Amino acid sequence: MNGPNIPATRRFGAQVDFGRTAREYQQHRQGFPPAFFEAVDACGFARPGQRVLDLGSGTGTVARGLALLGLQAAAIDPAEALIEVARQLDRQAGVGIDYHVGKAEALPFANESFDLVTAGQCWHWFDRPAAAQEARRVLRPRGRLLIAHFDWLPLPGNVVEATERLILQANPNWTMGGGTGIYPLWLGDLANADFGSIETLSFDLSVAYSHEAWRGRIAASAGVKASLTDVEVERFDRDLAEVLSSKFPGDPLDVPHRVWVATGIRL
């Protein structure tokens, strides 16, 4: 987890560019699972016909899932390469999403123009107080901000723990390992921006990855291809392949994950 107000991009000592990971994102980052959208729907956090804005949309996994639930979706991300991938995936899914290149801290939308604002797997990258205030500005009265994560879990002796150890060897500036998939500071972000009726939701599930898919998934992470040189990425991938072959020969791998949601209503 990052410090309370400092964007993660400043804590790496180098620019993190997710645009470099567009191919890996498309092929190997599975995005939020169907169970996430089922839970959001069952809890009444998203309803058909609502207008939703997805912040830090990446390849559109959250916006696309909500569009498939019947919401009118717009999305914004600073990486144009990821948006191009998102549009390809949208065409395959048969949905249309209004994409914008931009930042969560300076939204190009009018006041009170959305019923729901979402941020999936990205809140830690923002100037959080500024993003929360912008989300509040573009939400209609009683509109909802929903911050969601879908995190792998490093447990003693598992493949995630071994992989995170390799990332740290390759990139000592990486600060995002050892997570629990729970983000209590986000509750303060909601409260400080005058959101009420704050709730959380969480559940665990396992995701199957082939060795190749796990290597691709890790390449698409902030600590690897988004911030290392091509030579360093190739060296890291060879090391990861060797660890998988020698210590985790089972294929596919069973990788534990946690879904966690914090949400509040604009007062």
The tens digit of pLDDT for each residue in 86-119 reads 999 999 999 999 999 999 999 999 999 999 999 9
| pLDDT on residue 15 | 60
Q: What is the pTM of this model?
A: 0.87
Residue 262 identity: A
Query: For residues 39 and 201, is the Cβ–Cβ distance under 8 A?
Result: yes
Which residues are within 8 A (CB) of 68 and not within 5 positions of it... i.e. 6 or more apart?
A: 37, 93, 95
Q: Which two tokens stand for residue 204?
A: 């665990």
Q: What is the pLDDT of residues 41-80, one digit of tens each?
A: 999 999 999 999 999 999 999 999 999 999 999 999 999 9
Query: For residues 118 and 53, is the Cβ–Cβ distance under 8 A?
Result: yes
The DSSP symbol for 11 reads: T
Q: Is 184 helix (H, G, I), strand (E, B) or coil?
A: coil
Mean pLDDT of the chain: 90
Beta bridge partners of 13: none
Alpha-carbon distances, residue 154 vs 98, 181, 255, 258 (angstroms): 36, 10, 9, 11
Q: Please count the other Cβ atoms lying within 10 Å of the Cβ belonging to residue 243.
A: 15
Point out the residues of the chain with pLDDT beneath 70: 1-30
Query: For residues 220 and 25, is the Cβ–Cβ distance under 8 A?
Result: yes
Q: Which two tokens stand for residue 50?
A: 């609502």
| pLDDT on residue 18 | 52
Query: For residues 144 and 264, is the Cβ–Cβ distance under 8 A?
Result: yes
Q: Which two tokens stand for residue 157?
A: 């002796």
| pLDDT on residue 10 | 34
Residues 138-172 as b/e (b if ≥16 CB within 10 A, e otherwise) read bbeeebbbbbbbbbbbbeeebbbeebbebbeebbe
Query: For residues 83 and 57, is the Cβ–Cβ distance under 8 A?
Result: yes
| pLDDT on residue 20 | 52
Q: Which residue has the tokens 């879990």?
A: 153
